[in-house]
Amino acid sequence: MGWAETAREKRRAPIGEYRPERYTVVVYDTFEQYKLRMAALTIRNGMSVPEFFLYCAEYVLDHHRKLKDLRRIFRKGAREVCIAAAEPVGSEFMEPKSEEQRRRREALDRFCEWAAPELFPPKTVEWP
């Protein structure tokens, strides 16, 4: 893998690992399809419908009132992952990039362990 591909992956996944996953959305109605295409073009000339869906999802994640706690938790997690990946790699490692990726993966795993219970705390049953 060349430096250009590595830079592209780093730009696309600045915090976590670069592991693309495809999500499929089906829109059956041609009128709705046209509406989505026109909305994408209105926001930015040349924007595709999948890009429009990602744009909408990012907008909701950034602005919806009910997702305030999610934003706080993910900001904290992003800081932790970036700090773990930015620690200097000593000369004892033969491949510093592999060590950086391992640290990033471990930090992401730690984040996933504490984030889920923060977002969805266990429900307690109170007896009358």
pLDDT per residue over 75-93, tens digit each? Answer: 999 999 999 888 887 777 7
Reported as a single tens digit per residue, the pLDDT across 9-47 is: 888 888 888 888 988 999 999 999 999 999 999 999 989
Give the integer Cα–Cα distance in Å for 27 and 111.
35
Phi and psi, residue 114, nearest 5°? -95, -20
Please choose, from the candidates 104, 119, 16, 15, the residue with its C-alpha nearest in 3D space to the C-alpha of residue 72. Answer: 119
Give the integer Cα–Cα distance in Å for 13 and 123.
34
Helix 96-119, helix 68-86: angle, nearest 10: 160
